[in-house]
């Protein structure tokens, strides 16, 4: 949502003390950044190029785990408990009491993670094929998951589990040889948490302020106006410069402490010049740690940010329309972003279908496995991880280190999905669907189901629009002998062995064309 300077100021008029003097230029309030190839300007970021490790990795896993996980009742819990009539408000009142007394500040105390074992979990995720792992660093709920010097009371070392969650994930991931990523969702927090400054509109407690209006908790809920009307958009970035500066300092602290290989932001690069300086600081810190090479990746959900250098595009819960010229990433979850008891998860087949689709279009898949309060995935989550593990053990050769082919697959123009929040509209893929990747002179064809007698791939017909040459050899990954095939002007046809080597899609390695 785009707002004018005047309309944004109108939302903040009830708190003029928060606004910096107009005489103070924003540039003068910005912290210093590390020296390096980027000077803090959008122009300098155009020289950034995505490193090869990200192109090669293809699959990452993520743990949305923080104080909102304590309730085990889904995503955006800390916001929605302050919205009378919402499902989470009703659950919260019935379970914990009214948010005028027991609010998110109290939920933070319930998050313990008593069985949290990052070494074990990273071992599982590496076995499942993850090449990088992402810890949540801070969600919209304004609670830092490290020993944050700029959020000293509401962080995971001071409150809740009393552990440096980001640090523990970082140590475990890197000890297992995985790249380490961190997500930050903080820039939206000032607007997102505005609901905590309201009250019930009806009922016996109508007009009684929620605990977000208590000034002693303004370091968690923000010192924003009480009963803002209208409420700012949840994912808005309407905030005074004092908040932008605090945001900058906290994410800068996160970068400096952990030097993540990938830094994910929930949206586009935030706050204009503040954001460009922060991204520049990140890349400069990473360059200094890697002998001058910028081996870090910053992701943005705004395509325009990444059109010319600067970052890698991230598409939330969706897939690019077709092969993108630069590497990109889908981030999605097997269920809700934050853990919710009793939810139905994506199947292993759905995840694998998405992975093949994404990789064929020059993308990576970042899959979130949300953790409950205990820090241990539930049995149904582990079943999905086990399915992915079995499939990757057979087929990962066609995933890792690959590049796109001439086309992503046999996807008709009319069937291509639109990018962004489109996964709920995806149809199940089957034996008639094919996705392609290439690696070291070989073409990999993923047939997205097990045909009855033979796999038929018209896209690989001899000649045709793609100019496919004579195929010399076809192998089925997970099946030792070469498989018999024929190729003519109509299709490539491959005879199948009696037993399929893996569940879900199967992969043919094709050479000679």
The pLDDT score that the predictor gives to residue 513 is 66
Residue 27: band (very low, low, confident or very high) from pLDDT cuts 50, 70, 90: very low
Q: DSSP class of residue 230?
A: S
Residue 483 Cα distances to 189, 436, 455, 498, 512, angstroms: 56, 18, 11, 11, 15
pLDDT surpasses 60 at 121: yes
CATH class for domain 413-511? Answer: mainly beta
Taking residues 283-311, report their average pLDDT: 97
CA distance 420 to 411: 18
pLDDT surpasses 60 at 22: no
**CB distance 191 to 232 below 8 Å:** yes
Number of residues that this document lists for the chain: 513
Q: At CA 211, angle to CA 210 and CA 216, rounded to 5?
A: 145
CA distance 286 to 300: 18
The pLDDT score that the predictor gives to residue 415 is 54
pLDDT surpasses 60 at 102: yes
**What does the mean pLDDT of the chain come to?**
92
Query: What are the extents of the domains in the chain?
Result: 25-69+112-186+230-316, 413-511
Write the pLDDT tens digit of every residue in 33-58.
Answer: 999 999 999 999 999 999 999 999 99
- Which of 24-28, 292-296, 485-489 has the weakest average pLDDT? 24-28
Residue 512: band (very low, low, confident or very high) from pLDDT cuts 50, 70, 90: confident
pLDDT surpasses 80 at 23: no
Q: Burial letters for 10-37: b for 16+ Cβ neighbours within 10 Å, e otherwise?
A: ebbeeeeebeeeeeeeeeeebeebbebe
pLDDT surpasses 70 at 409: yes
Q: How many CB atoms lie within 10 A of CB 498?
A: 4
Relative to beta strand 262-265, strand 297-300 is: parallel
Homologous superfamily of domain range 25-69+112-186+230-316: Glycosidases (3.20.20.80)
pLDDT surpasses 70 at 117: yes
The pLDDT score that the predictor gives to residue 188 is 97
Q: Helix, strand, coil: what percent of the chain each, to 5? A: 35, 15, 50
The pLDDT score that the predictor gives to residue 20 is 33
Taking residues 309-318, report their average pLDDT: 96
Q: Which residue has the tokens 């199948």?
A: 496
Phi, psi dihedral angles at 459 (to 5 degrees): -60, -25
What residues contact residue 2 under an 8 Å CB cut-off, 6+ apart? none
Residue 12: band (very low, low, confident or very high) from pLDDT cuts 50, 70, 90: very low
The pLDDT score that the predictor gives to residue 427 is 82
End-to-end Cα distance, the chain: 49
Taking residues 319-339, report their average pLDDT: 96
Residue 16: band (very low, low, confident or very high) from pLDDT cuts 50, 70, 90: very low
Q: With 0.75 as the threshold, say if the pTM is over it.
A: yes
224 vs 191, which has greater pLDDT? Answer: 191
- Tokens for 164, please give them: 């440096």
């Amino acid at each position: 949502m785009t707002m004018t300077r005047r309309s944004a100021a109108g939302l903040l008029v009830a708190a003029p003390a928060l606004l910096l003097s107009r005489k103070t230029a924003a540039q003068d309030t910005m912290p210093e950044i590390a020296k390096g190839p980027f000077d803090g300007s959008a122009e300098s970021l155009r020289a950034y190029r995505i490193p090869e490790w990200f192109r090669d990795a293809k699959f990452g896993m993520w743990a949305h785990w923080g104080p909102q996980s304590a309730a085990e009742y889904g995503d955006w819990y800390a916001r929605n408990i302050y919205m009378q009539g919402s499902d989470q408000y009703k659950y919260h009142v019935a379970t914990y009491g009214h948010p005028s007394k027991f609010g998110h500040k109290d939920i933070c105390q319930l998050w313990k993670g008593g069985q949290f074992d990052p070494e074990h979990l990273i071992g599982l995720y590496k076995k499942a094929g993850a090449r990088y792992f992402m810890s949540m660093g801070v969600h919209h709920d304004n609670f830092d998951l490290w020993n944050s010097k700029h959020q000293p009371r509401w962080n995971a070392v001071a409150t809740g589990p009393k552990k440096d969650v980001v640090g523990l994930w970082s140590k475990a991931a890197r000890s297992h040889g995985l790249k380490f990523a961190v997500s930050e969702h903080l820039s939206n927090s000032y607007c997102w948490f505005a609901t905590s400054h309201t009250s019930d509109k009806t009922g016996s407690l109508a007009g009684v302020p929620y605990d977000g209006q208590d000034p002693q908790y303004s370091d968690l809920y923000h010192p924003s106006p009480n009963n803002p009307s209208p409420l700012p958009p949840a994912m808005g970035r309407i905030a005074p410069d004092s908040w932008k500066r605090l945001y900058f300092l906290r994410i800068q602290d996160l970068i400096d402490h952990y030097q993540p290989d990938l830094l994910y932001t929930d949206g586009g690069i935030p706050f204009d010049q503040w954001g460009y300086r922060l991204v520049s600081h990140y890349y400069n810190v990473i360059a200094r740690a890697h002998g001058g090479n910028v081996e870090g990746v910053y992701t943005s959900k705004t395509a325009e940010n990444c059109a010319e250098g600067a970052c890698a595009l991230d598409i939330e819960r969706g897939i690019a329309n077709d092969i993108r010229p630069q590497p990109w990433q889908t981030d999605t979850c097997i269920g809700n972003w934050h853990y919710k008891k009793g939810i139905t998860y994506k199947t292993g087949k759905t995840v694998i279908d998405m992975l093949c689709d994404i990789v064929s279009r020059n993308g990576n898949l970042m899959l979130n496995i949300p953790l409950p309060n205990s820090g241990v995935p539930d049995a149904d989550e582990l079943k999905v991880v086990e399915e992915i593990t079995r499939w990757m053990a057979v087929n990962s050769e066609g995933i890792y280190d690959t590049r796109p082919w001439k086309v992503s697959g046999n996807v008709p123009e009319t069937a291509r999905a639109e990018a962004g929040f489109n996964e709920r509209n995806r149809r199940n893929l089957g034996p008639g669907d094919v996705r392609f990747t290439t690696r070291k002179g070989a073409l990999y064809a993923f047939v997205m189901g097990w045909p009855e007698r033979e796999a038929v791939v018209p896209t690989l017909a001899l000649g045709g629009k793609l100019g496919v040459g004579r195929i010399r050899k076809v192998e089925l990954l997970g099946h030792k002998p070469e498989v018999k095939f024929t190729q003519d002007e109509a299709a490539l046809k491959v005879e199948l062995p009696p037993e399929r080597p893996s569940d879900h899609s199967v992969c043919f390695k094709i050479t000679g064309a």
